[in-house]
Chain A
Amino acid sequence: MPTNILMPALSPTMEQGKLAKWLKKEGDTIKSGDVLAEIETDKATMEVEAVDEGTLAKILIPDGTDNVAVNTPIAVIAGEGEDASATASAAPAPSPTTAASTAPSQGDGAAHQDKGGEKPEAVAKKGSDAPLPPAEASASAVAPEIPEGTVMATMTVRDALRDAMAEEMRRDDRVFIIGEEVAEYQGAYKVTQGLLQEFGPKRVVDTPITEHGFAGLGVGAAMAGLRPIVEFMTFNFAMQAIDHIINSAAKTLYMSGGQMDNAVVFRGPNGAAARVAAQHSQDYSSWYSNVPGLKVVAPYTAADFKGLLKSAIRDPNPIVFLENEILYGQQFEVPRLDDFVVPIGKARIARAGRDVTLVAWSIGMTYAIKAADELAKEGIEAEIIDLRTIRPMDVPAIVRSVQKTHRCVTVEEGWPQSGVGAEIAAKVMSEAFDYLDAPVIRITGKDVPMPYAANLEKLALPNVKEVVGAAKAVMYRN
C-alpha cells in the first residue's frame, strides 16, 4: 500500500515552510533514514528523513515551493512489489499516512534544551505613616507615536525585534547582545539573524548554557556602564537566573542610594509555545511585575515590539522584555521611520468600543481581538486595551475605558492566582468602583501545570469562547 509523506512540523509552532530541495528523485529506492528533502522554516533549514522503505513513487510538491502547510502530502512512497507508476495516480488517497520524521541538523530552540513603581492604595492614605509617592502624569491611551501619513511595511515580530536591536547597536556602541545561540546559530528562534555578521563576536556573544552565570555577567557589565541585551532562549530558563534579575538588577539603584545604574534588558520568549508541556510553558508576567525596580514590557504587534524594544534598550533601568514564540512569525504593519520608538508604560486602544472593556497584552490580544469580532456580530462593541507594558501599568488608560463602558474583562495566558488580571481587577475596583456595573471577570490560563496532550493543552489555555462568555456575563446577556 502506498504511503504519503507529509510536510513535517519542525518546531512546536511551525505552521508552514518552504520545500527547498528534493535530495531524491522519483523512482529512487528509499531506505529508512535516507534524507529525502530539505525544508526551510523562518528559523532554520532542516532535513526530512524517510521512515518507510520503498520507492519514491511520486513527488507531489516540487522544489522551491513556498508556504507548504504542515501535514500536506509532499510525496508518495510505494512499498515493495507495488507498482510505482500505478500508485502515483492514487497519491492523494486517504491511505495510512505518516509524517516524516526529521533529523534536525541543529536543534530547535525550545525543544532542544532539556534541561513602574507600585503606589500605595487609597486605604494607605489613611492608615499608614508612609509618605505618598509623587503623583504621576496621566497616561494617554491613544498611540501618538505614528505620525499621520507614515508609510507602513509588513513585517514579522521576529524581524521587528532584530531591526530594533540592530538599530540600537548602530546607535550606541555600549549595546551588545549575549545569550545562548545568539551569534553563530543566528538565534534559537532566529531573532538575532544577521547581527553577528554586522557587529562581530565581541558584540554578539554566544554563551555556554549557563543562565545564572551569564545573567549575572550581564548585570555586572551594566554596572560598569555597558548596555547589555541578555537573551534567554526562553524565560522558563531565566528562573535559574531570577536572583540576578531581581536581587542584582532591580534593587541595586535603590540599595546604592541612586549611584548604580543598571541599564540591562532581559528578553526572550515567554509563556506557552505549543506542545512543549509544563516546564517550557510558563507565563512570567505577574512574577516580574511584582518587583519594584523592574519595568516589564509585553507587546503584541510588530510595531510595538520594535518601538518598545528600542525604548527598553535606551532605558537606564533594568527591563524584562517578554516576547512570545507564537507571535514571532506573525506579520503586522510597522511604520517606516528612521527612529521609531514607543514609550514604555503607555497602553494603546487597539479597538474602540462603548460596551465592554477587554484588557489584554502579548498573546492574550489574539483572544481579545477574535472575541471582539464575535461580539460585534451580536451588536456588542468591545473596547480593547492593549496594555503593552505590565509595569509601570497604565492604569489611567484602563480606568478611562471602564468609565466609558462600565464593564471589564481581562485576558491572559498566565495562571489566575496573583496574576496580572487580579492586579487589574484590584486597580479597577479601587479607582473606578463607582463606574462598574458588574464585577471584573478574569480570563486566564487554568490553574494547572501545562499538560502535553493536545486536547488537554487546549483546555488549559484560555479561548475565544470564554472571553465572549465573560463579556456577555458582565453585560448580563446570555
Chain B
Amino acid sequence: MAVAPASRAKSEPQAPEKPEARQEKKTNGAGKAPAVPTFSKEQELAAYRDMLLIRRFEEKAGQMYGMGLIGGFCHLYIGQEAVVVGVRMASKEDDQVITGYRDHGHMLACGMDPKGVMAELTGRRGGYSKGKGGSMHMFSKEKHFYGGHGIVGAQVSLGTGLAFANYYRGNQAVSLTYFGDGASNQGQVYESFNMAELWKLPVVYIIENNRYAMGTSVTRSSALTDFSKRGDSFNIPGEQVDGMDVRAVKAAAEKAIQWCRDGKGPYILEMQTYRYRGHSMSDPAKYRSKEEVQKMREEHDPIEQVRARLLKSGQSSEDELKQIDGKIRAVVAEAAEFATHDPEPDPSELWTDIYR
C-alpha cells in the first residue's frame, strides 16, 4: 500500500470506549463482554514479556528501516501488542493464526523465531521465506501461522478456509482471523461471514480497530463504526473489547474460542486499539494530532498498564522488570545482528519455489 496522506482529518482524541454490556443476541451470553479478570503474577509477567518483545522488536525494525536495511513496506505493530498477546494466552497450539500485512507481532506471539522474522525483513536467506516474501509475506507451518497477506481483506476469506478445514476434519482447532477496521469494509469479509455462519465454521474474526485505515479515520470510512455489529445481519455474535488491556483481550478471546470449539460457528471480537506509528514507515501520520497519540501512550499503553499493576501490587519489582527488559533487548539485538549479517539469498533462489 502506498502512503500519501492527503487531508488532515478530524481527529478524535478520546480513549477507546469501554466495552458496553451489549444486548444478548444469542444464548450463553454471546455478544456480552466478560468481566475483566485478574491475572496471576505469572500471567502478568508472561504478558509483559511477550508484549515487550514485540515493542522492542518493532522499534528495532523501525530503526533498521531508517538505516536502509529493511526496504519496501514495513507496518509496525507498536501500540497494539495487547491484542495478539491476549488472544495467544487464550488459544491453543493447534489454533491457526492468519492476518494482514501488519504481521510481525502476530508472528512473535505465535512463537516464531525473532531472528527468522527480522532476517526476512532484511531480505536474507535465513528469513522465514528465504528472503523472498518480506515484511508482509511470512508463514510458519510449524507454528500454525498462515501469513502475512498483502491484499487488504484477503486473509478473511483465507482464514475462513482454514476454519473450513477444521470443520472438514472434525478437529477442535479454531481459526483466529485478524483484520483491521479498514479491511472491514471489503466485500469479501461479508461473503466470508455468510459462509462461516451458514456452515458454523470455527473462526474468530478479530477486528483490530486501530481507528485509522491508513490515513482515513473510522468515522470517515465506516457508516457503522461499531465493528462488533458487523456480523448482525448474519447472526454472528460480536463484542467490543478494550484492546489496550491484555486481560480483557484474553477473557474475550477465551469466550469466543470456546464458542467456536462448541460448534456454534463464528464469533466477532472488535479489539479497540491504537497504533502509535504511522500506517507504514513512510507515513508521517498528519491525519491525527500529536496530542491524540501522546494521550494514548500515557493513559492506555498496554505494556505500561501491566507494569504499573505489577509494581503497585508488589508482585514484581523495578529490578525484576529491568532484568526482563535487558533479556528482551538482548534477544532483539541478536535478531538484528543476525538479520544484518546473514547473506542475501543465493541467486539460484530466483527460480525455486515457483512450483512444487
Closest residue of B by beta carbon distance from A133: B351
Query: What's the minimum C-beta distance from A128 to chain B, rounded to whole angstroms?
Result: 11
Contact B160 A216 (CB under 8 A): yes
Task: Give 1 or 0 for each of A279-309: 1 = CB within 8 Å of chain B CB.
Answer: 0000000000000110100000000000000
Contact B128 A221 (CB under 8 A): no
CB of A149 within 8 A of chain B? Answer: no
Chain A residues, Cβ within 8 Å of B163: 220
Contact B198 A254 (CB under 8 A): no
CB of A258 within 8 A of chain B? Answer: yes
Number of interface residues of B (CB under 8 A): 49
CB of A32 within 8 A of chain B? Answer: no
Number of A-B contacts (CB under 8 A): 152
Contact B147 A213 (CB under 8 A): no
Contact A257 B195 (CB under 8 A): no
Listed from nearest, the 8 A-B pairs whose CB atoms lie closest are: A220-B161, A216-B157, A213-B191, A224-B165, A257-B130, A220-B158, A257-B129, A255-B137
Contact of B354 among A213, A217, A293 (CB under 8 A): A293
Contact B348 A221 (CB under 8 A): no
Determine the distance from Cα of A213 to Cα of B160 in the docked complex, in whole angstroms: 9
Chain B residues, Cβ within 8 Å of A259: 128-129, 139-141
| Residues from 145 to 163 in B contacting A, C-beta threshold 8 Å | 146-151, 154, 156-163
Contact of B350 among A131, A214, A244 (CB under 8 A): A131
Most buried by B among A216, A222, A248: A216
Contact B195 A131 (CB under 8 A): no
Contact of A208 among B187, B194, B356 (CB under 8 A): B194
Determine the distance from Cα of A211 to Cα of B345 in the docked complex, in whole angstroms: 37
Query: What's the minimum C-beta distance from A392 to chain B, rounded to whole angstroms?
Result: 8
Contact B154 A247 (CB under 8 A): yes
Closest residue of A by beta carbon distance from B187: A212
Q: What size tier do the contact residues of chain A reach?
A: 35 or more
CB of A109 within 8 A of chain B? Answer: no
Determine the distance from Cα of A191 to Cα of B87 in the docked complex, in whole angstroms: 44
Contact B195 A221 (CB under 8 A): no
Contact A131 B158 (CB under 8 A): no
Chain A residues, Cβ within 8 Å of B162: 220-221, 223-224
Contact of A223 among B129, B161, B347 (CB under 8 A): B161
Mark A residues whose CB is within 8 Å of B.
116-117, 129-131, 133-134, 176, 202, 207-208, 210, 212-226, 243-244, 247-248, 252-261, 292-293, 295, 316-317
A-B contact pairs, 28 of them (CB 8 A): A131-B350, A202-B168, A208-B194, A210-B195, A213-B195, A214-B191, A217-B164, A220-B161, A220-B163, A223-B162, A225-B165, A226-B168, A243-B151, A243-B154, A248-B149, A254-B132, A255-B132, A255-B147, A255-B148, A256-B129, A256-B133, A257-B127, A257-B131, A257-B133, A258-B130, A259-B128, A259-B141, A295-B355
Closest residue of A by beta carbon distance from B198: A208
Contact A217 B157 (CB under 8 A): yes
Asked if A248 meets B158 with Cβ closer than 8 Å, knowing A210-B191, A210-B195, the reply is yes
Task: Give 1 or 0 for each of B323-356: 1 = CB within 8 Å of chain A CB.
Answer: 0000000000000000000000001101111111
CB of B256 within 8 A of chain A? Answer: no
Query: What's the minimum C-beta distance from A312 to chain B, rounded to whole angstroms?
Result: 13
Query: What's the minimum C-beta distance from A249 to chain B, rounded to whole angstroms?
Result: 10
Chain A residues, Cβ within 8 Å of B191: 208, 210, 212-214
Contact of B161 among A207, A210, A218, A254 (CB under 8 A): A218
Query: What's the minimum C-beta distance from A216 to chain B, rounded to whole angstroms?
Result: 2
Query: What's the minimum C-beta distance from A355 to chain B, rounded to whole angstroms?
Result: 36
Query: What's the minimum C-beta distance from B173 to chain A, rounded to whole angstroms?
Result: 9
Contact A220 B130 (CB under 8 A): no
Contact B158 A216 (CB under 8 A): yes
Determine the distance from Cα of A248 to Cα of B162 in the docked complex, in whole angstroms: 13
Determine the distance from Cα of A316 to Cα of B356 in the docked complex, in whole angstroms: 6
Query: What's the minimum C-beta distance from A74 to chain B, rounded to whole angstroms?
Result: 42
Task: Give 1 or 0 for each of B121-137: 1 = CB within 8 Å of chain A CB.
Answer: 00000011111110001
Determine the distance from Cα of A131 to Cα of B348 in the docked complex, in whole angstroms: 6
Asked if A212 meets B355 with Cβ closer than 8 Å, knowing A207-B195, A221-B165, A255-B129, the reply is no
Chain A residues, Cβ within 8 Å of B305: none
Chain A residues, Cβ within 8 Å of B258: none
Asked if A210 meets B194 with Cβ closer than 8 Å, knowing A116-B355, A254-B353, the reply is yes
Contact A222 B161 (CB under 8 A): yes
CB of B176 within 8 A of chain A? Answer: no
CB of B96 within 8 A of chain A? Answer: yes
Query: What's the minimum C-beta distance from B170 to chain A, rounded to whole angstroms?
Result: 9
CB of B138 within 8 A of chain A? Answer: yes
Asked if A220 meets B354 with Cβ closer than 8 Å, knowing A252-B147, A255-B132, the reply is no
Task: Give 1 or 0 for each of B285-303: 1 = CB within 8 Å of chain A CB.
Answer: 0000000000000000000
